[in-house]
Amino acid sequence: MAVTLHDDKLEHAIAFAALAALGSLGWPGHKARLVVLLAFTGAAIEVLQGAQLIGRDLDGFDWVADCAGMALGLTIAGWTKRRVGRRVVGLP
């Protein structure tokens, strides 16, 4: 039983937002490597989907949604780090 939002681009963006946020929080100091790795992963997924063996379609806009999701995830992780940091130090 598949759970879907019925919007492929939104699903791509949400998945890569989660990957980027968790990766940024779990792999601090390596944001550039994380971005390159996730961008390459998204592109590889699309290339594989374009292969006749899988029976899916290559869609470049899925990769754009992946990258938009990454930007959102990194933004959310940055906000989270700043808010938690203020609480730890005792700043409002």
Q: What is the pLDDT of residues 11-25, one digit of tens each?
A: 999 999 999 999 998
pLDDT single digits (tens) 64-74: 999 999 999 99
Sign of CA dihedral 55, 60, 61, 63: positive
Task: Please report which confidence band the pLDDT of residue 91 belongs to, taking 50, 70 and 90 as the band edges.
Answer: very low
With the C-alpha atoms ordered 3, 5, 6, 12, is the resulting torsion angle positive or negative? negative
